[in-house]
Structures are given as C-alpha cells and as structure tokens.
Amino acid sequence: MLYREAGQFKTSYSADQAMLTIPLDRWFVFALTAFAVIGVPLLASEYLMVSILVPVLILSIAALGLNILTGYCGQLSLGTGAFMAAGAYLAYKIATNITWLPIWVVIPLAGLCAAAIGIAFGLPSLRIKGFYLAVATLAAQFFLLWLFVKVPWFVNDSISGVPPAPPRSVFGFQVTGAAAGNEAKYLFVLAFVIALAWIARNLARSRIGRSWMAIRDMDIAAELVGIRPLPTKLSAFAISSFYCGVAGALWALCYINSVEPTAFDINRSFQVLFMVIVGGLGSVLGSFLGAAFIFLLPIFLNSAPGWIGYSVASDTITHIEFMLFGVLIIFFLIVEPHGLARLWQIAKEKLRLWPFPY
Amino acid sequence: MTRPGDILLSVKDISLRFGGVRALTDVSFDIHEGEIFAIIGPNGAGKSSMLNCINGFYHPQEGTITFKGEERRQMRPHEAAAQGISRTFQNIALFKGMTTLENVMTGRMLKMKASFVEQAFYMLRGRQEEIAHREKVEEVIDFLEIQAIRKTPVGRLPYGLQKRVELARALAAEPQLLLLDEPMAGMNVEEKEDMCRFVLSTNHELGTTIALIEHDMGVVMDLSDRVVVLDYGKKLAEGTPGEVRGNQDVIDAYLGVSHD
C-alpha cells in the first residue's frame, strides 16, 4: 500500500489484537467492501457479475473451508467436492420440502448437515495422517457422490436426476434459480462471503484457531498444553465442511441453477486444493487470491490471444492450461508453499524498506 | 534456599517396560512443594521416561504416582496439563508456524472458556478473554525478556531463544509443577547462565516447583535443592547435591568401576 507503517503506534492490547491493526489498512478494506456492495452492482456488466464474480466468490468460500482444514489444522482432504455436493443436495431437499423456510436459513442449515457428514468422515483423522488421510477423504468423495446419484430421495425422485434450482426470494428479490436478477444473486452470494470470511478470520485469531495450528505444527506438544486432539480435529472437519456445504449450496442454487453431480466431482476437489496451495496455506486472504487466480487463469488464456489479434485453437489452449497448472503447482510447492498471500507479504516487507536493501 | 514444603508429587515403585527392555525398575521419590528437584544419570538411565510417566505420555506397568494427594495410574497428557503439570522438551517442541506470542498464548489454552460462537464473532468472552489472557502472557514475556521477538514466527528464532519461548509457554499455564527436560542442552555459557537465572527466578518469585533433567553437573549442583540419581532404570541415590556427590555408587556409575 502507498503509506508508511512507521509511527503508527498501538497503546492497548485490544488495539494490537484488532483484525487490521493499521488504520489505513482498515479503511482500505472498508472501502473495498463498500465498493463490492454498492459500486459493483451499479457498474459491472452482467457477464462480469454472473459469470466471473459469483463463481469466484463461491469458490472462495470453498477455498476458505479447505484452508481451515488443510492450512490451519494440517489435515489433508480430497473430499471438498463431496462436502460441497452434500450442501447442494441437502439445500435443495430442505428448500423444496420446507418451503416456508427463508432461503438464507436453508443454506446455513445445509451447511450444518454437511458439517455433520464432515465430522463422520473426519473420525479416521485421529489414527491416520497425511497421505493416508487424503485417501480416506477420497472415499468420502466417491461414496457421497455415488449416494446422491443413486438415491432419488435427495432430488425428490426427479426423473432427469438433475432438478432445477427452486426459485426463492430475499426481501422480495429472487436470488436463486435461472430467473433471478444478476444484482440480487451477486449481493446474496457476497453477503455469505463477507460473513464467512469475517468468521474465519475471528476463528483463526482465537483459541480454536491456535489449537488447530498447534495440532498442525506438533500434535504431541499440543496435547501437552491441554489440547485434546480428537475434538480439535473434528471441529476443523466440521467447520471446513460447513464452509464447503454453503459453497456447494450457493454453487447449485445461484450459479449453475441446477443440482447436478458432475459439478462436484473429484476435479472440483482438486481445483479447490490447488486454490489453497497457490493462494496460500493458512491464510484467509490467500483463499481469495487462489480462487480468483485459478478460476480466472483459463479465462485469461482463452481471451488473451484475441486481444493481441492472434488466434489459437481452443484445444491448444486447453493443453497450455494443463501444462501451466502443472508448472504452477510445482513452482508453488517448491518455491513458496505459503502461496500468493506470502508473496504479497514479502512484497510489502520489501517495499517498506525500498529503495534500501535493509 | 531449601524450603521443605508438603509433598507435591510422590512416585512409588514405578516400573516401566517396553517389551523386554526395562526402562524403569521400582523407582520411588517425592518432590516437595517449592523445591528444585533434579533427576540425573548417564545416558539411557530412564530420566526422560520418568518425566514422560509423570506427565502422562507413558503408562507405567507397576507403581503409583500421586499428585496433590490424588493417586492415578492412567492419564492422558492433556489431563496432566489440566491438573497443573507443564513441561518443556529435550528437543524443542514448539509450534513452528506460529509467532512467539501465539505459542505462549497456547499455554493459556485450558484457562480460556469462551464458547464457539463467542470466538466466531469475537464478541463478549471471545474478545474479553483474548485481551485478559494477553495481559497475563505479556507478564510472562516480560519475565523471560523476550519482548522483542513477540511477533516473530518461532521457526526463525535461534536455538537459545526457542528454548526460552518453550519455557514461556510452559509458564503461561501457571503450573504447580514444571518439568524441564534438559533446559540447558546445546547452549553456550552465556545462554546457560541466562536460563539458570530464569529457572531460579521462576522458583523464587513464582513459587513454582521444578523437576529438571540436566547433564551439566555444575548447573545441577548449583540450582537444585535435592537430586535423584538413576542408572539403568534404577534409583542409585537421593539427597542434597552434597550428599549425592559423595555417594560411592554415583561416582562409580559416572566414572566407571575397575574390575580387577
């Protein structure tokens, strides 16, 4: 940022523990939020809002969820897609069966159901770690998707198996389904993003966040200071699955406007995992950066040749996309495991001293 | 220096076996309130195993451990922590990805009672507790003179400071019994002197009972009120540093006996 941090003193612990300790940072975030709430719906085009911002914001929620589990608590999971699917199918089930329930209650409720499922699949984490746990969560991925496809109860015995999202309104504006207005949809998703990002940040700086990180960094020492491993790991699984469930519900109801299993397959799990790795493990900001980066890169690759008056076959672009992702993942794993968020932090540290080396 | 108080921890006839290996055999001793108690012995004598038993990591097959008058056999480490036992490790066991401040804050873990919702919204007790415990943690940070590294991730700190942060984390829990596993290992003279000062002032000013394992005999003799000597899992001697130093068995164990 274009301001100096020197001389900005704090005189109380309460000020030192604020979420954003520097006043200008605080103003910047307030301004950004205000712009996202007021400016974007007025200025942005339909394409930008519905096809780019809405999916990026929803995937940010999923990335936040996985970051809580993998980045903060150190439990590797490949079941993100399944927990998103749980949120999506159960949101549909609840919304269509309890029609009087407002949609802004239905989605967190679906998240809670996903959390319960997450706890069940998190139980092995007490005994197994690392790659073995990843394989155990992979079981969740395949089992849950199989269950939702196989049992027609989840989709109210819909013949196609891919029911359209039920149209629901908040304050008289329709927010779900194909007929919903762009602005209403965008603001509905944004409200969830702001609330969940704020909660994630609060959890990370509270006792529960410290106990997750303690388990991640050294579980024996964590037990020594009085952290019980099982409840701590399960709480990370529950909260992570809650976030993924909410993201899945929003994805189905507000973005693709139908509940379909292909949207939540293993590729989705990997996509969210890449977002977390590229964005930065253990960082709320990183979840957003990663989601935006991974989602926008293919779009950028598709349109960039056009901007410079050069045409490339679309399958070539797909190949380039694959190669680029592979390179990026390896690059981040080797060079900067803390991802874009850490790069941003390093840039800030360098700029603080610039033009002097130290 | 010696202030013989009531018995805080009593270890009776502890035997610990790993398969055929007898790590500890019928070891008994008492630790009194307010003293600095040293456990010494050659490598592999069972010193760390003893601490692990007291602290709940190992469960001895025989014998009893009585803490604050309550006897117990099976106990998990977090239960020991809840009863007021904290410890440091021989090879530092800090949370490497967290800052000094966060590490020390984890020491207050058991004293924090805010509900999940209060933490999620950082309101009411969620917020009050963070600030109240921060004040306590700052006292420990002042006490151990680590103010300057408050916001540094501990992974970046030099070894000596990491040891100090680990002590800070243990002290933040306000333990009644503090177990120190080789607190001076791998330190230079200056760092050792600092650490001795901190151990002594912890004992004098905070009144914490300390049980420590240490190989530096100079440190042990200067710091401790009483010493127990282990060798091959058996107790060789117990007493004041002076008594132990004069004990023939102890001299034999450390220097070896000629078999001629």
Tens digit of each residue's pLDDT (9 = 90 or more) over B66-95? 998 888 867 888 888 889 999 999 888 999
Mutate to test the interface with B, among A21, A224, A235 (most CBs of B within 10 A): A224
**Smallest Cα distance from B172 to chain A, Å:** 10
B178 phi and psi angles, rounded to 5 deg: -110, 125
Beta pairing partners, B228: B39, B238
pLDDT at B168: 95
Q: How do residues A218-233 score in pLDDT, each as one tens digit?
A: 988 898 888 999 999 9
Token pair, residue B192, equals: 């050792």
Cα separation of B10 and B30, whole Å? 4
B-chain residues near A16 (CB < 8 A): 134
pLDDT at A73: 94
> Do the chains contact at B131 and A221, CB–CB below 8 Å?
no
Any CB–CB contact under 8 A between B130 and chain A? yes
Any CB–CB contact under 8 A between A14 and chain B? yes
Cα separation of A186 and A35, whole Å? 13
Q: Which residue has the tokens 């706890």?
A: A119
pLDDT at A22: 80
Question: Residue A12's pLDDT band (boundaries 50, 70, 90)?
Answer: confident
pLDDT at B3: 53
Token pair, residue A277, equals: 């790795």
pLDDT at A250: 96
Mean of the per-residue pLDDT values for chain A?
A: 89
Q: CB under 8 Å to A173, separation ≥6 — which residues?
A: A180, A181, A184
The CB density around residue A30, as the number of other CB atoms within 10 Å, is: 11
Task: Say if residue A179's pLDDT is above 70.
Answer: yes
User: Considering only alpha carbons, which residue of chain A is nearest residue B179?
Assistant: A224
* Torsion sign across C-alpha atoms A208, A214, A217, A219: negative
How large is the average pLDDT for residues A187-195? 95
> Do the chains contact at A210 and B98, CB–CB below 8 Å?
yes
Q: Lowest-pLDDT range, A69-73, A213-217, A308-312, B26-30?
A: A308-312
Nearest to A294 by CA among A314, A337, A324, A318: A324
B-chain residues near A214 (CB < 8 A): 95, 98, 106
**Smallest Cα distance from A209 to chain B, Å:** 9
> Do the chains contact at B114 and A220, CB–CB below 8 Å?
no
Cα separation of A194 and A190, whole Å? 6
Q: Which residue has the tokens 């159960």?
A: A90
pLDDT at B194: 92
Any CB–CB contact under 8 A between B100 and chain A? no
pLDDT at B2: 46
Which domains, from first to last, does chain A contain?
Answer: 44-353 (1.10.3470)
Any CB–CB contact under 8 A between B179 and chain A? no
Cα separation of A283 and B125, whole Å? 25
Token pair, residue B50, equals: 């003893």
Mutate to test the interface with B, among A10, A126, A207, A216 (most CBs of B within 10 A): A207
User: Considering only alpha carbons, which residue of chain A is nearest residue B82?
Assistant: A226
For chain B, residues with pLDDT lower than 50 are: 1-2
pLDDT at B260: 65
Cα separation of B53 and B14, whole Å? 9
The CB density around residue A122, as the number of other CB atoms within 10 Å, is: 28
Q: How do residues A34-68 score in pLDDT, each as one tens digit?
A: 999 999 999 988 888 889 999 999 999 999 999 99
pLDDT at A95: 94
pLDDT at B43: 87
Any CB–CB contact under 8 A between B76 and chain A? yes
Task: Determine what percent of chain A is predicted with pLDDT higher than 90.
Answer: 56
Cα separation of A265 and A144, whole Å? 10
> Do the chains contact at B81 and A224, CB–CB below 8 Å?
yes
> Do the chains contact at B109 and A211, CB–CB below 8 Å?
yes
Q: How far is CA A12 from CA A115, B127, B129, in A?
A: 37, 13, 14
Task: Say if residue A268's pLDDT is above 60.
Answer: yes
Q: How far is CA A245 from CA A72, A79, A86, A92, A142, in A?
A: 19, 11, 6, 12, 16
Q: How far is CA A294 from CA A192, A240, B168, in A?
A: 21, 20, 42
How large is the average pLDDT for residues A237-245? 97
Any CB–CB contact under 8 A between B191 and chain A? no
Nearest to A214 by CA among B99, B55, B113: B99
Mutate to test the interface with A, among B110, B122, B167 (most CBs of A within 10 A): B122
**Smallest Cα distance from B64 to chain A, Å:** 21
ipTM of the shown complex: 0.89
Task: Report helix, strand or coil for B66.
Answer: strand
> Do the chains contact at B122 and A211, CB–CB below 8 Å?
no
pLDDT at A3: 64
How large is the average pLDDT for residues A274-296? 92
Q: Name the fold adopted by B1-84+175-260.
A: Rossmann fold (3.40.50)
> Do the chains contact at A221 and B82, CB–CB below 8 Å?
no
Nearest to A121 by CA among A62, A74, A80: A80
Q: How do residues A62-98 score in pLDDT, each as one tens digit?
A: 999 999 999 999 999 999 999 999 999 999 999 999 9
Q: How far apart are the first and last CA of chain A?
A: 19
Nearest to A221 by CA among B87, B175, B151, B80: B87
Paired sense of beta strands B62-67 and B70-72, if any: antiparallel
Task: Say if residue A23's pLDDT is above 90.
Answer: no
Any idea where the domains of chain B sit in the sequence? 1-84+175-260, 98-174
Cα separation of A220 and A222, whole Å? 5
Question: Residue A353's pLDDT band (boundaries 50, 70, 90)?
Answer: confident
Token pair, residue A117, equals: 């499922």
How large is the average pLDDT for residues A192-203? 95
Task: Say if residue A298's pLDDT is above 80.
Answer: yes
How large is the average pLDDT for residues A99-108? 93
Mutate to test the interface with A, among B106, B118, B133, B150 (most CBs of A within 10 A): B106
Q: How do residues A138-160 score in pLDDT, each as one tens digit?
A: 999 999 999 999 999 999 888 88
Q: How far is CA B153 from CA A49, B99, B158, in A?
A: 39, 4, 11
